């Protein structure tokens, strides 16, 4: 029996629906995002010892100094990315355990995801396969460089805090597309929406954030 999708205990659809209802009560209004998060079994993306806490509204450690973002953070970033529209090709920086990429796979036509830590990517590939996220392609590479060969992207979501938006990501964003990225300024992090317009780039600061730092190179 595949325990990843069994109907008992914390693995059940009912548990995921409780998470969705909590997200809705916290202000997440995009039903497409909520539906996708109700489909993806979050507990299979974390270590077995933490599985019982997978649907709580908190980040959890993945090892290697990395974390899986809280359900609210994932939902909020993807709600900002989608902005009520449709997503064709999306780039994710920071695959981590693969959870956000799995949710993205339900709302975008194509998902490309980059992770600098090879051991994490090995696990993420397995998790994405178990979650049947067949339209996700992952790569062990420096996310700050993006994937120019697959550009332009309708959306780019960065799951780590940077001091500035890397120029390659700006260059690879389609006109009308958005980058969702946490930026650090004077020691404080905030979530930003960077939209590419025909005239250039518009930057909107949204809310406070808390992420691991975006690092260059491979780990």
Q: Which residues form the catalytic set?
A: 69
Distance between CA 92 and CA 104 in Å, rounded? 9
**Rounded CA separation 15/186 (Å):** 39
Give, as one character, the DSSP assignment of residue 1. -
How far, in Å, CA of 87 to CA of 110, rounded?
8
Q: How many CB atoms lie within 10 A of CB 207?
A: 10
Q: Strand (E) positions, the chain? A: 60-63, 66-68, 87-93, 108-115, 136-140, 153-158, 173-185, 188-197, 200-208
How buried is 8 (Cβ within 10 angstroms: 0-12 exposed, 13-18 middle, 19+ buried)? exposed
User: Coil, strand or helix: which one is 124?
Assistant: helix
Q: What is residue 211's three-state secondary structure?
A: coil
Q: How far is CA 204 from the centre of its chain?
A: 19
């Amino acid at each position: 029996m595949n325990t990843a999708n069994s109907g008992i205990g914390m693995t059940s659809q009912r548990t995921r629906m409780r998470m969705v209802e909590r997200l809705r009560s916290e202000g997440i209004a995009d039903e497409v995002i909520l539906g996708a998060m109700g489909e993806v079994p979050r507990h299979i993306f974390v270590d077995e010892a933490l599985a019982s806490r997978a649907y709580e509204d908190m980040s959890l450690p993945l090892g290697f100094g990395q974390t899986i973002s809280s359900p609210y953070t994932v939902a909020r970033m993807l709600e900002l990315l989608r902005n009520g529209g449709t997503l064709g090709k999306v780039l994710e920086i920071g695959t981590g355990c693969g959870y956000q990429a799995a949710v993205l796979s339900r709302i975008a036509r194509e998902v490309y995801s980059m992770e600098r830590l090879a051991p994490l990517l090995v696990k993420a590939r397995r998790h994405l396969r178990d979650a049947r996220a067949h339209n996700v392609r992952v790569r062990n590479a420096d996310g700050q460089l993006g994937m120019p060969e697959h550009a332009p992207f309708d959306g780019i979501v960065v799951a780590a805090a940077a001091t500035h938006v890397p120029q390659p990501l700006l260059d690879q964003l389609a006109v009308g597309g958005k980058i969702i990225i946490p930026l650090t300024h004077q020691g404080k992090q905030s979530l930003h929406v960077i939209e590419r317009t025909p005239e250039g780039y518009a930057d909107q600061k949204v809310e406070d954030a808390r992420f691991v730092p975006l690092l260059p190179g491979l780990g």
